[in-house]
Amino acid sequence: MKMKRFVSVALTVLMLLPILAGCGAKTEAPAATAAPAATEAPAETAAETTAPVALAEDVQKIVDRGVLRVGVKNAVLGFGFQDELTGEYSGMEISLAQKIAEYLGVDVEFTAVTAATRTELLDSGDIDCVLATFTITEERKKSWDFTTPYYTDYVTVLVEDASGIKTLADLKDKKVGVSSGSTSAKALVKAMIEAGVLSGDGFDADSFDPATWTDGVSFAQYDDYPTISTALSAGEVDAFCVDKSILAVYHTDGRSYIDDKFSPQEYGIATTKGSGMSELCETLITGWLADGTIDALIAENGIA
Ligand code: GLU
């Protein structure tokens, strides 16, 4: 084992001592195997003074595998963006994923996800966590764990200038393209109700379904954002609604945002409910919020 990786694992173990002590899903591995790096540590290193600690079973599995598998976006500039030529990923969420892997002393592997696929991939175990402009909602918290938010965005609407649409009121009776599995349609209807554009009769936040909503605005749902952008150019939809961070790459010449932005979207890392990964990610994110790491990543990526 390389020194760098050893130090990284030892740091993680030290950092997690408080939460691991109280963690239910622990492996019963003996001390020698619980923190793999410790078995190969030179006698004079910090490992000698590190108490035997068991990693949560799911986190241990990642360490044993040597790879942290993360679901990320591949077309959201500043968050998760893949260079088509080099295949390289960049953005704040990419850096955060790399830092989690670094703490575990493992490599990182990215899987491009969409709003529609990210939870399936997490549930099936294909990925260990999701860092993909994933908005924390009460409803989603019933199915997955989310960390404290690392970024807050807003929802807005992109239109072709030629449409003349400039405000929420102008969206009355229009057809709006949204991504399946996203918060966008509900956020827009709520904003239109709050702005007095729609009456709100028949709106129930818990049972709202973009596929059947036709009262004053309607929706077409797509699997990915490039397809919505194409649909907007083709006039298949009158507007494209989602978080401003996601819309940025589609904001090309001849297109504009409407004047309104609404519905704060707090992004968190999503993990399997009750997992060791949930505790690990929460500890790391709160630490990085407190020590300025997250602010620095926001500034570096030009997304302040
Ligand atoms: N952030 C929003 C959501 O989680 C928009 C969808 C997306 O992230 O792709 O629903």
Mutate to test the pocket of ligand 1, among 120, 182, 223 (most ligand atoms within 8 A of CB): 182
Nearest-10 crossing angle of helices 276-290, 57-65 = 80
Averaged pLDDT for residues 30-37: 36
Q: Which residues contact 67 (CB under 8 A, 6 or more apart)?
A: 101, 106, 107, 108, 109
Is the beta carbon of 74 within 6 A of some atom in ligand 1? Answer: no
Provide the 8-state DSSP code for 269: -
Written as six digits, the tokens of 5 are 């990786």
Is the beta carbon of 242 within 6 A of some atom in ligand 1? Answer: yes
Least confident of 14-23, 108-117, 282-291: 14-23
The model's confidence at residue 96, banded by pLDDT at 50, 70 and 90, is very high
Note the pLDDT tens digit of each residue in 220-230: 999 999 999 99
Q: Is the CB of residue 213 less than 8 Å from the CB of residue 257?
A: no
- Phi, psi angle pair for 262, to nearest 5°: -150, 175
- The pTM of this model reads 0.85
Q: Which residues contact 248 (CB under 8 A, 6 or more apart)?
A: 76, 77, 78
% pLDDT > 90, the chain:
82
pLDDT of residue 79: 98
Average pLDDT of the residues of the chain: 88
The model's confidence at residue 54, banded by pLDDT at 50, 70 and 90, is confident
Compute the distance from residue 228 Cα to the ligand 1 centre, in Å.
Answer: 14
Higher pLDDT, 9 or 184: 184
The span from the CA of 92 to the CA of 100, in Å, is 12
Written as six digits, the tokens of 1 are 């084992």
